[in-house]
């Protein structure tokens, strides 16, 4: 499994404070630069949160920005951005978990690629220790190493 | 039993939650139908257990289904606890 390719340039880290909108656009940057998504896709991801609330928070401190393929996806992809300072979302949930430091931007073209990407992302975040490691990362290189180690380890477990 | 996984679009976190729930019920040997839907559809689907985030959990509470809020959609341990609590109370 996990034959999804997360290219090094699709992993980013920043120490700049950002609003949640800026964080979503930042996380999608590599997909936009590579022509995998259109600017309209980023607008759709942000609009969905205005409409539906911060439902993209999939784990403590982890957000999964995404929209429908027809909003402007040319090629399936995923990009990861880790922020040193959490970006706060509107409408805190009951638990008060309304900030995210890890943004995993998801662009799918069909349900098969979508499921495959989701399964891979699940392996990254199912372990809260990995989330903690990512939050403490101090550079894109560190983020890269953490994610590649998880994928390698999961790959070994499957053998 | 029927488990409904709910998110904003029925497309992202609810699908991830569905994958996690399917792993859990397989492990527990429970027979259940697991479906992922968006919040708009959720109220019209009959279910025994609803798994969702804390925000939607408060919106969906009060119906016939038991509603459990999940923080980490990929955490088997957390989903297993929710399913176990549901099975023990029903």
Residue B11 sits at the chain A interface (C-beta within 8 Å): yes
Reported as a pLDDT band with limits 50, 70 and 90, residue A7 is confident
At the second CATH level, the architecture of B2-89 is 3-Layer(aba) Sandwich (3.40)
A66 assigned to active site: yes
Please enumerate residues of A whose Cβ is less than 8 A from a Cβ of B.
Answer: 48, 52-60, 62, 64, 66-68, 91, 93-95, 97, 106, 114-115, 118-119, 121-126, 128
pLDDT (0 to 100) of residue B31: 93
A1 pLDDT more than 50: no
Coarse DSSP helix, strand, coil percentages of chain A, rounded to the nearest 5 percent: 50, 20, 30
Task: Pick the residue of A66, A126, A130 with the most B CBs within 10 A to test the interface with B by mutation.
Answer: A126
Domain residue spans of chain B = 2-89
Pick the range with the lowest mean pLDDT from A61-75, A127-141, A144-158, B18-32. A144-158
Residue B67 sits at the chain A interface (C-beta within 8 Å): no
pLDDT tens readout for residues A36-52: 999 999 999 999 898 88
Query: Which distant-in-sequence residues (6+ apart) come within 8 Å of A18 by Cβ?
Result: A26, A83, A85, A87
Distance from CA of B89 to the nearest CA of A (A): 23
Q: What percent of chain A is modeled with pLDDT above 70?
A: 89
A15 pLDDT more than 80: yes
Plot region of A61 (φ>0 → left; ψ -120 to 50 → alpha; else → beta): left
A94 pLDDT more than 90: no
Task: Pick the residue of B6, B10, B13 with the most A CBs within 10 A to test the interface with A by mutation.
Answer: B13
Q: What percent of chain A is modeled with pLDDT above 90?
A: 62
ipTM: 0.86
Distance from CA of B72 to the nearest CA of A (A): 4
Of B56, B69, B74, the CB nearest to A122: B74
Q: What is the CATH number of domain A8-158?
A: 3.40.930.10
Catalytic pick among A66, A94, A114, A116: A66
Reported as a pLDDT band with limits 50, 70 and 90, residue B6 is very high
Distance CA A103, CA B17 (A): 18
pLDDT tens readout for residues B28-76: 999 999 999 999 999 899 999 999 998 889 889 998 999 999 999 999 9
Of A59, A62, A115, the CB nearest to B15: A115
Select from A42, A51, A50 the least CA-distant residue to A71: A42
pLDDT (0 to 100) of residue A158: 59
Select from B13, B16, B7, B4 the least CA-distant residue to B67: B4
């Amino acid at each position: 499994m996990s034959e999804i390719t997360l290219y090094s340039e699709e992993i980013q880290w920043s120490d700049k404070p950002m609003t949640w909108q800026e964080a979503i656009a930042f996380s999608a940057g590599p997909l936009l630069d590579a022509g995998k998504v259109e600017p309209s896709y980023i607008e759709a991801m942000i609009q969905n949160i205005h409409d539906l609330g911060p439902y993209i928070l999939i784990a403590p401190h982890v957000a999964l920005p995404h929209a429908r393929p027809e909003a402007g996806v040319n090629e399936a992809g995923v990009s990861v951005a880790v922020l040193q300072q959490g970006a706060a979302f509107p409408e805190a949930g009951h638990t008060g978990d309304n900030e995210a430091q890890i943004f995993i931007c998801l662009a799918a073209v069909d349900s098969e690629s979508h499921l495959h990407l989701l399964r891979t992302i699940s392996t990254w975040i199912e372990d809260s220790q990995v989330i903690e490691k990512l939050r403490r990362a101090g550079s894109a290189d560190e983020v890269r190493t953490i994610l590649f180690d998880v994928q390698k380890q999961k790959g070994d477990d499957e053998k | 039993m029927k488990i409904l996984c709910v998110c904003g679009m029925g497309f992202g976190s609810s699908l991830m939650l569905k994958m996690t729930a399917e792993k859990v019920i397989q492990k527990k040997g429970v027979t259940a139908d697991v479906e992922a839907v968006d919040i708009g559809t959720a109220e019209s689907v009959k279910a025994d257990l609803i798994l969702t985030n804390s925000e939607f959990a408060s919106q969906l509470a009060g119906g016939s289904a038991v509603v459990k809020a999940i923080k980490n959609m990929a955490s088997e341990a957390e989903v297993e606890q929710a399913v176990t609590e549901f099975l023990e109370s029903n």
